[in-house]
Chains A and B, each alone.
Chain A
Amino acid sequence: MMLICKRLLWTIPILWMVATITFALVRVVPGGPFDAEKHLPPEIVANIKAKYHLDKPVIEQYILYLNRLAHGDLGVSYKYVNRTVNDIIGDALPVSIQLGATALIIAIVIGIPLGTFAAVRRGTAYDLAAMAISTIGISVPSFLVGALLIYIFGITFKILPVALWESPSHMIMPALTLSFLPTAYIARLTRASVLEVLQKDWVRTARSKGLSLQSTIIKHVLRNSLLPVLTIIGPLTAILITGSFTVEYIYAIPGMGRFFITAVINRDYDLIMATSLIFAVILIACNTVVDMAYTLLDPRIKVKS
């Protein structure tokens, strides 16, 4: 409980720093939110700037922004007129969480057994095959995986929808595409970690006492080798549930990932700052959960409160 409270307290200055740095960066970048192919007359630009308080000195804009933020108001979108950033995030984030969580489950369910299997069968053809698969998973970009899956399952065999977000079956290909890279990472990390633990004296002792390989792996080895995996699952979760630009783009999914890119392209200041803050909040939350999970997996670890 103390850990959670302390982390929560630390979150405030961290978020303030993220907000401040992002606020400064978006205003330094050349090009403004209302630059368009057709330049607007100065009178119109003046009206727009007044509407969004962009006519005020930067320091005043900053204070206004922090004041809004303190009240839970992430601002308004300059691109999507009449929509608040809270609305935009509120619509998109649940979709990304749904997709990201599914991809994470797939990655864990496939990645950990694959890595363990490769470690146990080290040096065999199985190991080589498993690691080849994971190397491909790391190397092949998701837009290519997505395009291939669409071509094979959507266009050639027509057994899965090509794209869109209409039913559970529409989630299969995007979730597989999104899970490809984390599955490979988890598999490789698990393999390395399991190999290391398998060299330990106590594993040899357990085996010499007659414990089966299966029991040794499940009861002893995995529990000890999962700590490094757990470490990357924190940031991995944050990355997955805040959405992937590529996967959402390819499959036309109304998630949040696209805003990390399009908000910058559109110079949509408040939306850029909101995506950064949301990512920071989720990352902090995931890392806190991971830290808590350490103590459950390995009682020797005690978190200093």
Chain B
Amino acid sequence: MNIGAEPPSLDWSVTTDSTSFDVISNLMVGLTQYTANLSCAPACASSWEITDGGRCYVFHLRQDARWSDGQPVTAYDFEYAWKRLLTPKTAAQYAFFFYDIVGAFEFNTGTLKDASKVGVMATDPHTLVVRLKKPAAYFIYLTAFCPSFPQRKDIIERWGDRWTDPEHIVTNGPFRLSTWKHEYKIELSANPLFFEGEPAIKRIKMFMVTEQSTAFALYENNEFDYVDNRSFSTPDVERCCRSPEYHNIALLRNNYIGFNTTKRPFDDRRVRLAVSMAVDRNIFPTILRRHERPSDSWIPPPLAGYASDSGPGYHPDIARRLLAEAGYPGGAGFPPVELLYPNREDTRLVVEQIQDQLKRVLGIKIVLTNQEWKVYLETLRRNPPAMFRNSWGADYPDPETFMNIFTSHNGNNDTRWSNATYDQLISKAKAESNQELRADLYRRADHLLCAQEAPIACTYLSSQNLMVKPWVHGIAFNALDLQFFKNAYIQAPVNSNKADFHTSIPCSHATVLSLPVTSKCRVYQQLSSAVFGKTPTLARGSVVACPNLSPAVTESPAEQATKESAQ
């Protein structure tokens, strides 16, 4: 397979990119793990309790979890990893995700020197207690997030910066790191000590082919068994989208046009709304041609708080009226406005389309400016222009990851928009433990953000395009753009090049290929009722025959079991 680029690091305390996470997610497991429908299931923690009104989490670790060198995985490994993440010297970029923990912010910023006062403590080898400053309903998701994975103090102290080298690293997940040829390939080998059982696939080769046409040629030559967006040019997507090997997944990545609300004319909400309502989002999948989903609201489906009517919709007449009310009838007198975008082909297509639509619908002229990626980022950080194109991908499957960035003091709020009502809604939702109430709070906040105040105009949801060879089954993908190989297996090898893969099917259980969650749920229901008559129970090694759906889409008994035990 192709991972497209060199992972910047396999130290899960310091790395932040999706390439590294793709590798690490197959080497390690945390306290919990994401299921196919993005809920949290037990992993190293067999169960947990939430007490003190959501301020205290007590995780009970399973007894049979082992590192790849045979040592038991203990709560001390988690305590060490989390405190290492928060140590200023580690300079971990994602340390801020854990600022909800008591003393975490103070420790990370150096005002608290005593690590024992940070609210993470292993009370015995199998119990980890985490204390939060205030309730954070999304916190459980962080325990399945790569930076929260455990680490071995003895290994890191012994090998220093080289602890992630294949000869030193120890892992607790389905695979071990056996080879890492920098800028070229990574090889994973099955971990026989993995507590869910040794994976059926004994070896995975992850090449780092940056050029899409080369990677796709390797796939077509049967040298790669599986490729994703990193190996797909748009013409390849169009050529292959009707192939049974093709799959498309909506990602939790939303794209938007941001307005600097401190600059004319976008300091007037009527102008922002007019622009947002004048954009027909249905055009974006047509011009981008990678099966994107049009989106006019900020929370993407299937996250809590998503509502199809949260956005402003496409209403040219209302848009023209709002613009006239703001003092620009037919676009007359509208000041020159710059729309900044990073220098990429897809973003160019999007902003050109928006420029055209605004000219036609509202009669306003937008000047397009593109900048090299890092220059663009610095411009956004220092002095955002009146309009800019941006996107945001979820770090964990909770609306918080999207909604938090437009609160008044968030560093990622390049719109400079500040709204006390919105801040209150987000603050309440963050602490709310009742899921229905929480979803309602987010729904209201999303409506306020997109359809009432409109500091942003959402455009479309990105998608992941995949090609999987017919003999490969069980790779699990999710909307966070993570891929898992622990349940993958080869059913029918077609040539001798497949020597690296097991040809039999000693898989631990039938497997999941996650489609977009909405599709997956629908298909799952169809399977349950039409094929099985109830929730499917699959024997070890069984394969689901699923007409018109290849490979089968279902949830494994292991996942069901883990979910049930979590509940």
Contacts and interface: CB of A to CB of B under 8 A. Distances in A.
A158 B217 CA distance: 11
Given A30-B375, A265-B374, A39 B221 contact: no
Contacts of B214: 150, 162-163, 250-252
Interface in B174-188: 181-184
Nearest to B216: A162
Contact of B161 (A82, A165, A251): A82
Given A81-B14, A82-B9, A31 B89 contact: no
Contacts of B463: none
A35 B207 contact: no
A82 B209 contact: no
Contact of B184 (A31, A34, A46, A165): A165
Contact of B181 (A30, A39, A254, A267): A254
B129 to A, nearest CB: 25
A51 B210 CA distance: 30
A161 B409 CA distance: 54
A79 interface: yes
Nearest to A84: B161
Contact of A254 (B9, B161, B182, B372): B182
A181 B92 CA distance: 45
A255 B108 CA distance: 38
A61 B392 CA distance: 34
B8 A158 contact: no
Contacts of A31: 372-375, 377-378
Contacts of A267: 374
Given A39-B381, A162-B214, A265 B184 contact: no
Contacts of B378: 30-32, 35
A155 B215 CA distance: 12
Nearest to B162: A82
A69 interface: no
Interface string B6-48: 1011010011100000000000000000000000000000000
Contact of A43 (B8, B108, B164, B220): B108
A80 B378 CA distance: 21
A50 B87 CA distance: 13
A219 interface: no
A79 B374 CA distance: 13
Contact of A36 (B16, B109, B223): B16
Interface in A1-52: 30-32, 34-44, 46-48, 50-52
B93 A40 contact: yes
Given A155-B221, A252-B214, A41 B182 contact: no
Interface in A138-165: 147, 150, 154-155, 158, 161-165
A79 B8 contact: yes
A165 B381 CA distance: 40
A36 B218 CA distance: 31
A32 to B, nearest CB: 7
Interface in B154-182: 161-162, 164, 181-182
Given A47-B88, A252-B214, 8 more contacts: A43-B96, A44-B91, A47-B92, A47-B95, A80-B8, A154-B217, A265-B373, A265-B374
Q: Which 10 A-B pairs have the closest CB atoms?
A: A31-B374, A254-B184, A81-B9, A254-B183, A51-B91, A35-B377, A82-B161, A252-B209, A47-B91, A48-B91
24 contacts: A30-B375, A31-B378, A35-B381, A36-B16, A40-B93, A42-B411, A43-B105, A43-B108, A43-B109, A47-B88, A47-B108, A50-B91, A81-B9, A88-B182, A147-B213, A155-B217, A163-B209, A163-B214, A164-B223, A249-B211, A252-B208, A254-B183, A258-B183, A267-B374
Interface of A: 30-32, 34-44, 46-48, 50-52, 79-83, 87-88, 91-92, 147, 150, 154-155, 158, 161-165, 249-255, 258, 265-267
